[in-house]
Amino acid sequence: MRALVTGANGFIGSNLVKHLLNKGFKVNALVRKSSDLSFLQDANANIIYGDITSKESLYLAMADCELVFHVAGLASDWGDYKLFYDINVTGALNVAEVANELATKRMIHISSVAIHGFGFRNINEDYPFGKKLIAYAETKKIAELKLFEFARNKPLEMTAIRPGNVFGENDHTFIEKYLDAMFAGQLAFINKGQSLTCPSYIGNLVEGIYLAATKDEAVGEAFFITDGLDITWNEFTTKLAHAVGKKPPTRSLPYAVANNIAKMMETSYKALKIKQAPLLTSYRVANGSQDYHFSIEKAKKLLGFEPKVGIDEALKRTGEWYLERRGL
């Protein structure tokens, strides 16, 4: 079976490519001309250059593919809304339209738990979507809604995966920056890190994505994929610190203080038109101070999903990768 993976050079995409190859798939890896391909250098994938914002560039990449895993997207808590929309919404619809035209059997769209906002425990996939979301989460929400609507009366099967806070080897988005701050002594909890978080180890996530492509029960459904843990930020960070031989942070900021600092930073960055994200944003403060916890019972029941790699082993592997990368 041949599958297309968009965003194949990124953290999630490259791990998914390798997982599918190990499962016996033939894989077309869609990347842009400017992409760093270092994560794919050991993968026997068919590299194809294209861009999800250019519909015409997708036909060659998707030819003869029974499945398309749409991983590509713009993930950040800072930036211009139009750019997020062009990539996360228009790009996703381009992929779906070409998949439908070429009679691709199923599209697995990588969405996000962020479409629900913050402030809850153990919710299921039917929980209402959030309001007043950041551009990333808002456009991921719009994309998921539009994709299911697009596929409603078409032969193209549609499934959405909503990962939690993804971490693991080759993670430059979250773990690398988080550990850099820890080693620099710049890490602090908010409200002592007592809110629940939703870690999703990359090895567990790609297995969940694979299962969603192979089960008939997944058609027309959305699934939370996390490690299924009741774990606070304090517990997660303490385990991570031990994995890299560091003492966990002891400093903590009250929510109100952290949020006021974030708002001041955001205001000044916008006024000065600084494209780089500030150290603190309202999204990061909310993520670190409010419960952000999801039930994976639906994925267990319909997909047979079970996180096989426990948190201690996952953080051990992640810590070893980071230490090697930093030469520590």
Phi/psi at 47 (5° precision): -75, 125
295-317 per-position pLDDT tens digit: 999 999 999 999 999 999 999 99
> The pTM is what?
0.96
Q: Which residue reads 């929510």 in tokens?
A: 255
Which residues touch 76 (CB under 8 Å, ≥6 apart)? 136, 277
In a domain, 154, yes or no: yes
DSSP H/E element including 206: helix 202-214
Q: Which two three-digit tokens encode residue 123? A: 């919710």
When computed from its CA atoms, the radius of gyration of the chain, rounded to whole angstroms, is 19
8 Å CB contact between 69 and 108 = yes
- Measured between alpha carbons, how far is 150 from 96 in angstroms, rounded to an integer? 8
For the chain, give the mean pLDDT: 96
pLDDT at 173: 87
**Residue 157 falls within a domain, yes or no?**
yes
Beta strands 120-123 and 196-197: pairing type? unpaired
The model's pLDDT over 189-228, given as tens digits with 9 standing for 90+, comes to 999 999 999 999 999 999 999 999 999 999 999 999 999 9
Q: Do the domain assignments include residue 103?
A: yes
| Residue 194 falls inside a structural domain | no
CATH code for the domain of 153: 3.40.50.720
Residue 279 pLDDT exceeds 90: no
Tokens of 311: 């948190």
Let me know how long the chain is: 328
The domain containing residue 222 runs over which residues? 2-171+199-228+294-308
DSSP helix/strand/coil, 280:
coil
Number of structural domains, the chain? 1
In this prediction, residue 328 carries a pLDDT of 86
pLDDT per residue as tens digits for the range 17-46: 999 999 999 999 999 999 999 999 889 999
